[in-house]
Amino acid sequence: MNKINVYKPSDDTFLLAECIKDLKGDSALDICTGSGYIAKILSKNFRIVVATDIDKCILKRDERISYICCNGASALKSRFDIITINPPYLPSDMISDITVDGGNEGIEVTLSLMEECINLMHEKSRLFVVSSSLSNISRLLDIEGLETKIVKKKRLWFEELIVIEANLKYEARLHPYH
Ligand SMILES: C[S@@+](CC[C@H](N)C(=O)[O-])C[C@H]1O[C@@H](n2cnc3c(N)ncnc32)[C@H](O)[C@@H]1O
């Protein structure tokens, strides 16, 4: 697995930022945090902010944000009011750049991260995930245990960026530790 450099905030970052900038609550988790742009916005309105990335380059000093280097949220057990993910989402035969390569259909990394989030959500948690029209979005909208909808879109010249919002389905709330 290679890493070229820390992902700089881009159109996808700003689209996600639009969705979460006015949200308030107690705890927030930003998975795939990269530069920490989204985590910093969350830290204005949330008491606890945790930010994870598989790349240790993200580890920084910030008294308002706990940065953790791990795969997805594998180091975490708590539940969060808000979870954000701007994952690598471009279709790719292999993962050669972890900032952008998302697997064959562009969703393989995203799918596993979203499924992992189910165990970190409570009944009012909101999960926001970025993806692209170049990837198999319909699969992301059909994850067992989650109710999903597209809440934001931005057309670029070669793709449309989207943000999916997901909440726990009622049945998943009844069996929160599956
Ligand atoms: C598209 S960049 C987004 C960065 C930042 N959130 C933003 O919006 O500017 C994707 C980030 O996901 C990280 N990443 C890739 N696979 C990951 C995984 N399995 N777990 C955690 N982070 C991962 C990469 O290192 C990269 O920083």
Q: How far is CA 49 from CA 18, 40, 145, in A?
A: 18, 9, 24
Q: Is 133 in the pocket of ligand 1 (CB under 6 A)?
A: no
Q: In this predicted structure, what is the pLDDT of residue 176?
A: 57
Sites in the chain below the pLDDT cut of 50: 1-2, 178
Q: How far is the CA of 116 from the centre of ligand 1 (A)?
A: 15
Whose structure tokens read 């998975």?
A: 31
Q: How far is the CA of 84 from the centre of ligand 1 (A)?
A: 11
Query: Domains, the chain, ranges and CATH?
Result: 11-174 (3.40.50.150)
Q: Is 72 in the pocket of ligand 1 (CB under 6 A)?
A: yes
Q: How far is the CA of 159 from the centre of ligand 1 (A)?
A: 19
Q: Which residue's C-alpha comes closest to atom 26 of ligand 1?
A: 99
Q: In this predicted structure, what is the pLDDT of residue 39?
A: 97
Q: Which residue's C-alpha comes closest to atom 27 of ligand 1?
A: 34
- Cα gap 4→58, rounded to integer Å: 13
Write the pLDDT tens digit of every residue in 149-169: 999 999 998 999 999 999 999
CA atoms within 13 A on the CB side of 109: 30
Q: In this predicted structure, what is the pLDDT of residue 15?
A: 98
Q: Kindly give the number of the ligand 1 atom that is closest to the alpha carbon of 58.
A: 27
Sign of CA dihedral 112, 118, 120, 124: positive
Q: Is the pTM higher than 0.75?
A: yes
Q: In this predicted structure, what is the pLDDT of residue 134?
A: 95
Q: Is 53 in the pocket of ligand 1 (CB under 6 A)?
A: yes
Q: Is 35 in the pocket of ligand 1 (CB under 6 A)?
A: yes
Q: In this predicted structure, what is the pLDDT of residue 4?
A: 52
